[in-house]
A and B are shown apart, each in its own frame.
Chain A
Amino acid sequence: MAGAGTSGAGQLAAVLGTGQTHHVSRRTDVSMAGLCREAIDRALADAGVGMADIDAVVLGKAPDLFEGVMMPELMLADAIGATGKPLLRVHTAGSVGGSTGVVAASLVQAGVHRRVLAVAFEKQSESNAMWALSIVPPFSMPVGAGAGGYFAPHVRSYIRRSGAPEHIGAMVAVKDRRNGARNPYAHLHQPDITVESVRASAVLWDPIRYDETCPSSDGACAVVIGDEAAGDAAQRPAWIHATAMRTEPTTFAGRDQVNPAAGRAAAAALWAQAGITDPLAEIDVAEIYVPFSWFEPMWLENLGFAAEGEGWRLVEAGETAIGGRLPVNPSGGVLSSNPIGASGLLRFAESAMQVMGRAGDHQVEGARTALGHAYGGGSQFYSMWVVGADKP
């Protein structure tokens, strides 16, 4: 990845506070503005700051067709507190929430702003993402079937390449949904889900089953990021140790769709910047973007937590459950809540909450270093960060 750079993080930055909505399938009692504001007010309260303390706002939102609002940052400017301040919109498909966190962090790390508000949202009930992702351009074959139809063949490839047993996908779903049952903000609460019930659920896009698929959610997330002085003044902030983003084209000959090069490059840059040589030993908890259950073992390999073809063994051994060597998605993850645009920022926020000791019933005991991860498009965009309880 010549030219991509693995430069240092610049000035220190820290997460001062996070906020999110209670994710549900339909929040018909609020507008998009009201939904965002709910998450923002909670983040500001968690950070102990007011809107006047915010120097700049970064908004993340998935593709406009998902909600049919062109440039929502225009109509949301006052609701998200951007009046008289710099406002940026970030746009990297499903990874956008993560990229929003990275952009907000970089504005602080660059020394441009003292406190930056990152906010991301999706109101899926106003639209139909499956329809928006399946539009058939002229001259082509109309076989596309939403995100599940896109990813299912690559999941099949993973299973074939790794030799993973078929129950791994169900195991991830059970773990994440049971974790979600401990998270009051999660959309789905399924404490009684079992491997058997997952395997008995309908196969939507063979080999992906209904219970191995993320829900469709309305929700928002906000994060307040401050500079070193703000972090020092805060009670137990989450210090940002490293950030990374990488991209690759959707299709090219020889593209590895199971273990994409851009994800591996982003992870390598992230670990180098954080000074981490053995991620499995040094990361205490990971919030990884897993919209379909099989992506947990796939991303464990892509991120370097396991060798290629071995990620499923960590799952099977229970190492990714709370109490395992690397708890993955103690919040319940994308499998329990999927307000698309916000899902990446939720991974980033949840990783921060863990090292801040504010994760409530899904807190991983003693978590001091955490990963937040997001991917988007056809596995093209990657954004990730490492946060820690200790100052880097």
Chain B
Amino acid sequence: MATPLAPDTPLSAPLDVGFDYTRSLGPVLGRFMTALRERRIEGVRGSDGRVHVPPVEFDPVTSEALSEPVGVADEGTVVSWSWMPDPIAGQPLQHPFGWALVRLDGADTALLHAVDAGSPDRMRTGMRVRARWVDEPVGSIRDIACFEPAGPGAEPRGPAAPPPAGTEPVTMLTTPVHLAYRHSASVQESRYLRALAEGRFIGQRCPACGKVYVPPRGACPADGVPTEEEVELPDRGIVTTFCIVNVPFLGQRITPPYVAAYVLLDGADIAFLHLVLGCAADEVRMGMRVEAAWKPRERWTTSLENVDHFRPTGEPDAPFESYREHL
């Protein structure tokens, strides 16, 4: 049953991944953050006498650990810059601003930060800038909201708010990371997913080894040859092996305990992971015959989740030797 593949448009969908990582800072960066909370900027002196701001933990020349803090000014000079016409979420300012390398007075290296200059016409290398502190510093580089033009003509700064009462040194920093992907399925997987949307399973047979892959991959991973022959598969098969997930974890979508089983459809040569319900977890067996329990048709999409779970058929178990090579 060879069916030529139509040039289907691959399916795609968003995949958003995010996590709040908790950084331990160590002594050098911890001191830097603690000083920021007090609206002070502290660098560290290197082996060659240079003052590094932001501080580095290990000397860039000798690799030795550094420990001598050096206070520097919260004003400095722009060493180089670029203009950010369309800020993106999470950046220091949400209106157009300059990214600048700022060498603070007393420092020998430059710090990257935003400059609220209003217009690129006001940005230039060599311009004087000063820190604009947030009202409630917490011990983060973001305690400096941004830099702003300083020097002749600049507005005088208002009175500084008193430093916060926090007394414990800053040792930790939470850094949220968020990645927004567009996940695309292959042409072959898209055909399989569209068949699932019609309540059907399709796979592909390798012309070299004859193995049937579901989902189809477009190429045999063992032989490296294209696979084109499409095979319709039934929605029943066996459990080859499984585990019972009892452990809860962040991001989990199925409430434990549940049986995560490798299901081998009749006529397929590779199993996929799915959920087994319809009997007690401790009654699930290797070799157990199962069939798909589809969700109501109106909830079908292009997803393996159309099958709510697999359930026992009540047929006799498959003999071990019949699926041994699938373990």
Verify A130–B241 contact, CB threshold 8 A. no
Residues in A with CB closer than 8 Å to B241 are: 153-154, 156-157, 160
Residues in A with CB closer than 8 Å to B254 are: 142-143
Verify A249–B221 contact, CB threshold 8 A. yes
- B72 CB → nearest A CB, Å: 20
Verify A131–B242 contact, CB threshold 8 A. no
Verify B327–A256 contact, CB threshold 8 A. yes
- Cβ of A197 under 8 Å from chain B: no
Verify B245–A27 contact, CB threshold 8 A. no
**Cα–Cα distance between A156 and B22 once the two chains are bound (Å):** 36
**Cα–Cα distance between A75 and B85 once the two chains are bound (Å):** 28
Known: A51-B63, A152-B243, A252-B222. A29 touches B269 (CB 8 A): no
Verify B270–A139 contact, CB threshold 8 A. no
Verify B57–A33 contact, CB threshold 8 A. yes
- Cβ of B29 under 8 Å from chain A: yes
- Cβ of B280 under 8 Å from chain A: no
Verify A254–B253 contact, CB threshold 8 A. no
- B28 CB → nearest A CB, Å: 8
For A153, give its contact among B25, B29, B183, B260 (CB under 8 Å): B260
Verify A203–B246 contact, CB threshold 8 A. yes
In the complex, identify which listed stretch (A76-84, A224-232, A274-282, A322-330) lies at the interface while the others stay far away: A76-84
Which residues of B does A touch, CB under 8 Å?
11-15, 17, 19, 21-27, 29, 56-63, 65, 171-172, 175, 177, 183, 185, 189, 193, 209, 211-213, 220-222, 240-247, 249-254, 258, 260-262, 269-270, 272-275, 281, 286, 302-305, 307, 320, 324-327
18 A-B pairs with CB atoms under 8 Å apart are: A30-B24, A51-B63, A68-B177, A83-B61, A83-B63, A123-B24, A126-B23, A130-B249, A135-B17, A138-B14, A141-B274, A141-B305, A142-B254, A143-B275, A144-B260, A160-B327, A254-B211, A254-B325
19 new A-B contacts, CB < 8 A, other than A143-B274, A146-B249, A203-B246, are A30-B26, A31-B57, A33-B57, A68-B19, A68-B21, A79-B58, A83-B60, A131-B249, A131-B250, A142-B252, A143-B273, A153-B243, A153-B261, A154-B327, A156-B243, A157-B286, A157-B327, A205-B245, A253-B213
For A253, give its contact among B12, B14, B261, B270 (CB under 8 Å): B270
For B302, give its contact among A29, A139, A155, A257 (CB under 8 Å): A139
For B304, give its contact among A125, A141, A160, A254 (CB under 8 Å): A141
In the complex, residue of chain A having the shortest beta-carbon distance to the beta carbon of B189: A139
**Cα–Cα distance between A136 and B252 once the two chains are bound (Å):** 9
**Cα–Cα distance between A208 and B247 once the two chains are bound (Å):** 11
- Cβ of A251 under 8 Å from chain B: yes
Residues in B with CB closer than 8 Å to A74 are: none
Residues in A with CB closer than 8 Å to B243 are: 145, 148-149, 152-153, 155-156, 205-208
Known: A79-B58, A137-B183, A205-B243. A253 touches B320 (CB 8 A): no
**Cα–Cα distance between A208 and B244 once the two chains are bound (Å):** 9
Verify A161–B327 contact, CB threshold 8 A. yes
Verify B262–A153 contact, CB threshold 8 A. yes
- B256 CB → nearest A CB, Å: 8
Which residues of A does B touch, CB under 8 Å?
26-31, 33-34, 37, 51, 65, 67-68, 78-79, 81, 83, 123, 125-128, 130-132, 134-146, 148-149, 152-157, 160-161, 202-208, 249, 251-254, 256-258
- 4 closest pairs, A vs B, by CB? A152-B243, A206-B244, A31-B26, A138-B13
Verify B24–A27 contact, CB threshold 8 A. yes
Residues in A with CB closer than 8 Å to B183 are: 137-138
In the complex, residue of chain A having the shortest beta-carbon distance to the beta carbon of B212: A253
- A83 CB → nearest B CB, Å: 6
Known: A79-B57, A249-B221. A145 touches B260 (CB 8 A): yes
- B322 CB → nearest A CB, Å: 13
**Cα–Cα distance between A203 and B244 once the two chains are bound (Å):** 9
For B252, give its contact among A51, A67, A134, A252 (CB under 8 Å): A134
Verify A139–B24 contact, CB threshold 8 A. no
Verify B251–A28 contact, CB threshold 8 A. no
- A127 CB → nearest B CB, Å: 6
For B221, give its contact among A51, A141, A252 (CB under 8 Å): A252
Residues in B with CB closer than 8 Å to A257 are: 327
Verify B249–A145 contact, CB threshold 8 A. yes
Most chain B CB within a 10 A radius of its CB, from A34, A123, A137: A34
